[in-house]
Structure 1
Amino acid sequence: MHILLTGGTGLIGRKLCQHWLAQGHQLTVWSRQPASVARLCGRAVRGIGRLEDLGSEPVDAIVNLAGAPIADRPWTDTRRQLLWKSRIGLTEQLLAWLEQREQRPAVLVSGSAVGYYGDGGERELTEQSQPVRKDFASDLCIAWEETAQRAEALGIRVVLVRTGLVLASEGGMLKRLKVPFKLGLGGPIGNGRQFMPWVHIDDQIALIDFLVHKADASGPYNACAPEPVRNREFARRLGRALHRPAFMPLPGLVLRATLGEMSDLLLGGQRARPVRLLAEGFGFRFNDLQTALDDLARRL
């Protein structure tokens, strides 16, 4: 199978490349820095700077994960424009290219996030749930999904992966939390009651692979472990995995003063469950948060 990836040099993309190379698939990564693709993703992975570089070469599947990191810095007007362009703008470029092709892939797996729902409070959120409280992150996910779904008119199966907090030793949230927690400065954020829908990186890779190959999979899927936990419980369990205390709270007022609207990502949460994945036969390897953190802590 020939798989085209966007966002292939990111945390999830690199892991997908490792996984699919081991299975013998042909991989191409569309990147702003194609010369670095082989080094980051694997020597056998081809990097391209323009979609036109593929010519008429057949592509069997597209995995669209590109997007500037949403939590790296405050949402200034310039940052919002970049976040929008790197997701919706890039997906529109992908669609324009697909419209011109005679041969089209069977499936487009496109990124999204549980932020689609906004701050859900205590509500249990399944794929059938509508956004509870719209904010910039929610609007971004909604627009990204709506743009990707336009590929259905081209005869392409479209899967939307609403990813939770990906736990990995190589990057992401755990890498940011490692230093404060190892210094004994970790703890809950705000009141600590907000739900955190999490997923181990190995399960994230496995579920994307599952959705690419499942011929009748389409529409949105919550990509998170079956049991979300509250932020206070997450902090306690991470402290246990790192053998450190976790009682130093980060006040919500401080976050709001320093991060503005972006603080909603940390102070709000989603009690999201992967109802569709479970119903369609996907099995999570890491259902328990402590088991997942213990597995990753050895490599942190």
Structure 2
Amino acid sequence: MKIIVAGGTGFIGKKLIDLLLQNGHEVVVLTRRNRSSSNNLSYVEWLKEDAIPEKEIETADAVINLAGVSINDGRWTAKHQKQIYDSRMIATDELLRIISEMPQKPSVFINASAIGIYPVSLTEVYTEDSISTPDDFLGKTVHDWEEKAKQASRYGARTVFMRFGVVLGNDGGALPLMTLPYKLFAGGTVGSGKQWVSWIHVTDVIRAILFAIEHRSVEGPVNVTAPSPLRMKEFGKTIGTVLKRPHWFPTPALAMKLALGQKSKLVLEGQKVLPEVLLENGFTFEFPELESALRDLLR
């Protein structure tokens, strides 16, 4: 298949492109910088004043939208929040415009999303059938992003919203910051420790994206989380076990709020989210349990 990837130079995007190429697909990456192409991988400039990407792309079988300013970078100031929100809206609008210009429309549109669309809770269990009522910045951003992406269905594309949980990788995402205190022998429970962490190994993230492309029965919201979420206290203890470091030095919620501002919600609050759609459609997780995932990433 010929697959377009927006946001292909990020943490998840680079690994996804490698997987797509390994599976024999032709990949076109939309980028703001001029890059050299090779074999089945090519780069097309977009989101620049003189860029007309649709002329170079012509047609595609699938479009994957991972574009947007990272929520993990910097404090969530008003300016940064606007960048996070606007970057997703602008990129999705441009992808919809590109699709509208294609003489042959893609059969599937995969849009990144996040479990932040579900309200934080210590007691609720969320599946794709759960009603999402976003009540904070991240929830509103995800909700509006999905509403924008739904417009791809106008062009006959099967539209999938990949609601990523806490993505674990050794060269990006949340894990390097989560493991650092343990490596310094200062690891311990963050906040109350009762908050849920719905995590997933980055390998299973990219495998789930490819699975969604290949399985026509997958449509609408898809929770991209491992089937075994843990509370923060157990999550931290597991890090300590794998790294052979003590879990003893608690980090109070106030300290996290002072250090990270509003972004502290990412570690102080959470949701218990289950990947019902993936499981019902036969997806097999390579890393269903946290300890095996961490041993793979931290070895």
What TM-score comes out, normalization by structure 1 length? Answer: 0.93
> Match of 1:66?
67
Is it true that 1:21 corresponds to 2:2 in the alignment?
no
**Which of 39, 42, 45 is equivalent to 2:41?**
45
Is it true that 1:156 corresponds to 2:152 in the alignment?
no
CA distance in 1 between counterparts of 2:89 and 2:133 reads 22
The letter of the residue matching 1:181 is: Y
CA distance in 2 between counterparts of 1:109 and 1:138 reads 19
Note the C-alpha offset of 1:113. Answer: 0.5
Q: What do you get for the CA RMSD once the two structures are aligned? A: 1.7
> Match of 1:266?
267
State whether residues 34 and 45 of structure 2, in contact with CA within 8 Å, keep that contact through their aligned partners in structure 1: yes
The letter of the residue matching 2:226 is: A
> Match of 1:187?
188
CA distance in 1 between counterparts of 2:26 and 2:236 reads 40
State whether residues 120 and 132 of structure 1, in contact with CA within 8 Å, keep that contact through their aligned partners in structure 2: no
Note the C-alpha offset of 1:187. Answer: 1.7
State whether residues 31 and 49 of structure 1, in contact with CA within 8 Å, keep that contact through their aligned partners in structure 2: yes
SS in 2 for 1:94: helix
Q: Deviations over 1:239-294 (max 9, x none)?
A: 11111112221111122233332222211101000011111111112111111111
What TM-score comes out, normalization by structure 2 length? Answer: 0.93
State whether residues 167 and 173 of structure 1, in contact with CA within 8 Å, keep that contact through their aligned partners in structure 2: yes
Gaps of 5+ in 2: none
Note the C-alpha offset of 1:44. Answer: 4.6
SS in 2 for 1:291: helix
> Match of 2:31?
31
The letter of the residue matching 2:15 is: K
Q: Deviations over 1:119-155 (max 9, x none)?
A: 1321000111123551000000001111001111111
CA distance in 1 between counterparts of 2:39 and 2:166 reads 29
Q: Deviations over 1:34-53 (max 9, x none)?
A: 42x76xxx875211112723
Structure 2 matches for 1:95-244, cutoff 5 A?
A: 95-131=96-132, 134-244=135-245
How much identity, in percent, do the aligned residues show?
37
CA spacing shift, 1:245–1:34, aligned 2, 3 Å: farther
SS in 2 for 1:208: helix
CA distance in 2 between counterparts of 1:83 and 1:286 reads 30
